[in-house]
Structure 1
Amino acid sequence: MTSFHTQGLHGYSVKFSPFSPTRLACVACQQYGISGTAALLIFEFDPNFNAPIAVTQTCKWEDGLFDVSWSELDEAVCVTAGGDGGIQVWNITNNVPMLVLREHEKEVYSVDWCHTGDKNLVISGSWDNTVKLWDIGAGLGKSLGSFAGHYGVVYSAVWSPHISGCFASTSADGTARIWDIRKQYMPQHVIPAHETEVLSCDWSKYDDKILITGSVDCSLRVWDLRNTKSCLCQMCGHTYAVRRVRCSPYVAGTVASCSYDFTVRTWDFLKPQGLSPLLETIDHHTEFVYGVDFSTFVPGLVADCGWDETIRLYKPQSLNVLQTL
């Protein structure tokens, strides 16, 4: 394991680069994101942990930054979600954004860059209850459209890795919704995912019909879009809200989640019925854990960040065991 102290900045989101096996982005805020400034931090690291993780670029912003996503077309470009309602597009060779998009009426809490179909597209989820669609390649100052339907804050919006133009969103209204950008005004599915706020979702990398949700009710649920009347599996173990969920790009059924209970947990939702899906509990943080991600280059490598001003890179034992089976 290797770690880095962000020196007064509280981590919100981490993402591995889709181009480089040694690059990582993190957004972190002063004052826990409640007030003050923030920064987009770019790191280089040794996947074998033979050298310390190092910051190669610091891009400062005058408000909070709550999420980050890498471009799928340019290894030097990423987008961030701003507490001022803006979306910042950065070329990491500079410390100022090359484009700022302002259309949301409240904080932007989620951004995701499309990795199937048109790779110029970005979606943003906001506390104004909407998801907006942007064409970054066109350099337009306005969105291509707005997806309204949630009755509460939108906490996450994530493109499907399988189906072009399809994305999922989750909200304080307790639902997950599936959208097709060609049918802007009506969701294709409305899933009554949890009885409380749904803070995160992610798609299985192995099955285009499977979506995982994480909630304030401390649980993760697995949904099959062919039948959303009940979940396929409920994963319980966290003692506070599940802040973010991520599906493994290497092992079908494997999920990582992070929580306000200071832990990261790994799960296998394909375990036979009657066996606990919980694989491992990792408790190396001393505050809320807000971000977690899997490397697509290095099997079993995970990054996370938390409000304890710490970013950690490590290989959970449970994932290394699974990958040798």
Structure 2
Amino acid sequence: MNRLAPLTLYTPGFAHYGIAWSPFHTTRLAVASAANYGLVGNGRLHIASIASLPGVPPTISLEKFYDTQDGLYDVAWSEIHENQLVTASGDGSIKLWDIMLNDLPIRAWQEHTREVFSVDWSNMNKDLFISSSWDGTVKLWSPERPRSITTLQAHTTCVYQALFSPHEPDVIATCSTDGTVKIFDLRMPAYAPPAPGSANFTKPLSAAALTVPASGTEILSLDWNKYKRYNLASGGVDKMVKVWDCRMVKIGPAGQETAFQAVGGICEAQFAGHEYAVRKVQWSPHRPDLLASASYDMSCRVWSTNPTAAGTNLVYIHDPHTEFVVGCGWSLYEEGVLATCSWDCKVNVFRI
């Protein structure tokens, strides 16, 4: 794929919110989108594929799409059925689709009381997935069950993303409007005990194994490093991409803040350069040092935790989009290939 000529798929009328590569088909992508920028109206799930023949430039095309009654905010492929995937919807529903069938989902769940903003399928317990919502909860699901298995009252405010650890099957990470990243162990008791002398049981919070005070503003995205068991990246409204080691979240003394200080928690590294909020971060599945970030400044940037010869951590900038870049995803099979999706209704696939 030519580095200077990204492949572009245009989905007129539907601004994007999430993008995911299939774990089974090397050239297949799913895109979650919404009409009217998700403010009002319906949504659409797009299934796209890249065709590459010897001697012919590769192309990207739309295989099929599914319309929904409300906007779609995220999508995740099944890790056990090659043609199935789940979507997160603005009406609080979660739907399971089979792309071998037309028109309707094969299953739907309606438990969240507000928008579902993320879904993630476990790549270890392959029959489970999780969802996070603006209602402050994270729910654990099996496609074979009519109701959720577990509900975590993870935050008191919107949970923008929840992700399974790629190393520990019962560990998940969450990020929220409250500026924290939390780590939960699903084997632990569901709810934290009330404070001594307290009789308030109206909004119990699930017990987190670790709470990282990551920012004074909203954390919009996080991702686990695929090679380093305890490393997480986060991005949010403060325009920073931050790297955390869960074993060593240091708390700096008051009045002695450093360049890596963030509301008490000191990260391992941070990358500055985006002009507006960072909407998505994702580690490379092929290299432990590479990290991509998508931003409201209409760019996707690639960072390395190892400084380049020029002394910078910035490796590459992709900026042909004309609206918010809200999603980025590394190809699972081809190193260095990234896909981005944006409010300009365009998917770009390119090589760094």
What residue in structure 2 maps to residue 114 of structure 1? 122
Distance across 2 between alignment mates of 1:200 and 1:38: 22
What residue in structure 2 maps to residue 25 of structure 1? 30
Change (3 A) 1:47 1:235: farther
The alpha-carbon deviation at position 86 of structure 1 amounts to: 0.5
What residue in structure 2 maps to residue 195 of structure 1? 216
Is residue 2:261 matched to residue 1:253? Answer: no
Is residue 2:17 matched to residue 1:12? Answer: yes
Question: Which of 70, 90, 99 is residue 107 of structure 2 equivalent to?
Answer: 99
Distance across 2 between alignment mates of 1:30 and 1:64: 7
The alpha-carbon deviation at position 46 of structure 1 amounts to: 2.8
What residue in structure 2 maps to residue 294 of structure 1? 330
Distance across 1 between alignment mates of 2:21 and 2:154: 31
Q: What does 1:19-168 correspond to in 2, within 5 Å?
A: 19-46=24-51, 50-94=57-101, 95-116=103-124, 118-136=125-143, 139-168=144-173
TM score, norm. by length of structure 2: 0.86
What residue in structure 2 maps to residue 323 of structure 1? none
Distance across 2 between alignment mates of 1:33 and 1:172: 19
What residue in structure 1 maps to residue 340 of structure 2? 304
The superposition leaves residues 4-63 of structure 1 with CA deviations (integer Å, 9 ceiling, x where unpaired) of 110111011110100011111101110001111111111110368823211112111010
Q: Which runs of 5+ in 1 are unaligned?
A: 317-325
The answer to whether the 8 A contact 2:52-2:59 is kept is: no
The alpha-carbon deviation at position 277 of structure 1 amounts to: 1.5
Q: What does 1:169-184 correspond to in 2, within 5 Å?
A: 169-183=174-188, 184=190
Distance across 2 between alignment mates of 1:179 and 1:121: 16
Give the count of matched residue pairs: 313
Distance across 2 between alignment mates of 1:93 and 1:39: 17
**What is the CA RMSD across the aligned residues, in angstroms?**
1.5
Partner amino acid, structure 1, of 2:142:
D
Partner amino acid, structure 2, of 1:129:
G
Is residue 2:269 matched to residue 1:233? Answer: yes
The answer to whether the 8 A contact 1:126-1:155 is kept is: yes
Q: Which runs of 5+ in 2 are unaligned?
A: 1-5, 192-206, 251-265
Distance across 2 between alignment mates of 1:278 and 1:162: 27
The answer to whether the 8 A contact 2:217-2:237 is kept is: yes
The answer to whether the 8 A contact 2:43-2:67 is kept is: yes
Distance across 1 between alignment mates of 2:180 and 2:212: 5
- Give SS of 2:335's match: coil
- Give SS of 1:284's match: coil
The superposition leaves residues 215-261 of structure 1 with CA deviations (integer Å, 9 ceiling, x where unpaired) of 10000110001111210001110010000001001111100000000
Distance across 2 between alignment mates of 1:210 and 1:216: 21
Identical positions, percent: 39
- Give SS of 2:58's match: coil
The answer to whether the 8 A contact 1:175-1:191 is kept is: yes
- Give SS of 2:100's match: coil
Change (3 A) 1:200 1:47: farther
The answer to whether the 8 A contact 1:22-1:47 is kept is: no
The alpha-carbon deviation at position 275 of structure 1 amounts to: 3.4
- Give SS of 1:32's match: helix
What residue in structure 2 maps to residue 212 of structure 1? 233
The answer to whether the 8 A contact 1:26-1:40 is kept is: yes
What residue in structure 2 maps to residue 322 of structure 1? none
Partner amino acid, structure 2, of 1:58:
F
